[in-house]
Amino acid sequence: MTHFGATILDATGTRLSRDEKRLFAEANPFGFILFKRNIDTPDQIRALCDDMRDAVGRNAPITIDQEGGRVQRLRAPLWRDWPAPLPHVEAAGAQAGEAMYLRYRLIAHELHALGIDSNCAPLVDVAGPQTHEFLRDRCYGTDPAQVADLGRAVAEGLLDGGVLPVLKHIPGHGRAQADSHLDSPVVQEDLRTLTQSDFAPFKALNDLPMGMTAHLVYAAIDDLPATISPRMMQIIREDIGFGGLIMTDDISMKALSGSLTDITRASLEAGCDIALLCNASLEDRRAVAEVAGQLDAAGQARAEAALAARRTPTEVDISALEAKLSAMSGGIAYGG
């Protein structure tokens, strides 16, 4: 049995360097993540995905952030440019559930054709009046039940297209009034309020195969960000009931303080399965991989279950799906 390293790592460019191939072979990360700097042409992306999988000697999952709006790595003219999720949901109105399914089924079709078999979506953070602008239009709405329903549609669209969804940001990022890429957001609401609102969509989707943490401090519960808080991770596992593989959000984000190795150690000790490291030097990637080591037995079982959730894409008429989505999206355009 292959035991996976407890990391997800990235590459510097459009092909792996010799040093990266050596590092990945030694570290055996669970999977990889792609960014804009890794994107050029369809053939190049497929070759890079092959490089990554060849380095670890298996069909490792390769993920990407392809939400739409500001957060999409694949763009026109080679791929579709999507509007941000919230305006699309609002434009579709009563048909938002089907529209989001179709949107992400089309996204999955593009990803799968490139060798990418995971997407960091659905994002079921509940938007509110003070949600920071970096997140607000990435949300699906302000009602927890509706957000959960739309999140389910997103997940099923991805799964039907052969792409594993990554549920984010557990246990809820919507109340953040700061950008966690740059600062450490603190949420002041009490546990009862959080449970009834912010946590609710995650509980409704606790059967999804993978999830990503939020680097938020929930002050009524702990003074540590959820990613490195044993108490918050206990809530995620026991109260929210999320049973899938849990990866951190990028541990290089400014919401977390300390060295990358200390953050890695703290996140895994808190209860995360995987440390996600992005935009780091080769030396930092190596150091984090060494500290993370291999998944423990429970994490390995969750990783294998996540991989087993990968589906063969259902056969669909892509042109028909595009036409149907366009008709129900209130004139919102997407290019490609």
Domain containing 244 — which CATH number? 3.20.20.300
Q: Is a pLDDT exceeding 70 seen at residue 46?
A: yes
End-to-end Cα spacing for the chain: 42
pLDDT at residue 135, rounded to an integer: 85
- 27 located within any domain: yes
Residue 254: its pLDDT value, please? 80
| Mean per-residue pLDDT over the chain, rounded | 94
**Whether pLDDT at 289 is above 70:** yes
Residue 140 lies in a domain: yes
Three-state secondary structure call for residue 74: coil
Q: Is 173 a catalytic residue?
A: no
What is the pLDDT confidence band of residue 335, given thresholds at 50, 70 and 90? low
Q: Is residue 334 part of a domain?
A: no
Q: What is the per-residue pLDDT across 107-118, written as a single tens digit (0 to 9) for each?
A: 999 999 999 999
pLDDT at residue 182, as a whole number: 55
| Of 125, 249, 250, 273, catalytic | 249
Question: Exactly one of 50, 181, 190, 207 is catalytic; which is it?
Answer: 181
Asked whether residue 314 is assigned to any structural domain, the reply reads yes
Average pLDDT rounded to a whole number, residues 279-288: 97
Q: State yes or no: is 181 an active-site residue.
A: yes
Instruction: Compute φ and ψ for 179, nearest 5 degrees.
Output: -85, 115
DSSP annotation of 212 reads E
Instruction: Check residue 48 and give its pLDDT.
Output: 98
How confident is the model over 116-157, as pLDDT tens digits? Answer: 999 999 999 999 888 888 888 999 999 999 999 999 999 999
The yes-or-no verdict on residue 177 having pLDDT over 80 is: no
Query: What total of structural domains would you count in the chain?
Result: 1
Q: Report the relative pairing of strands 245-247 and 217-218 from DSSP bridges.
A: unpaired
In the prediction, which pLDDT does 21 show? 98
Find the domain containing 111 and state its range.
5-327
**Is residue 77 included in any domain, yes or no?**
yes
What is the pLDDT, as a whole number, of residue 174? 84
Q: pTM here? A: 0.95
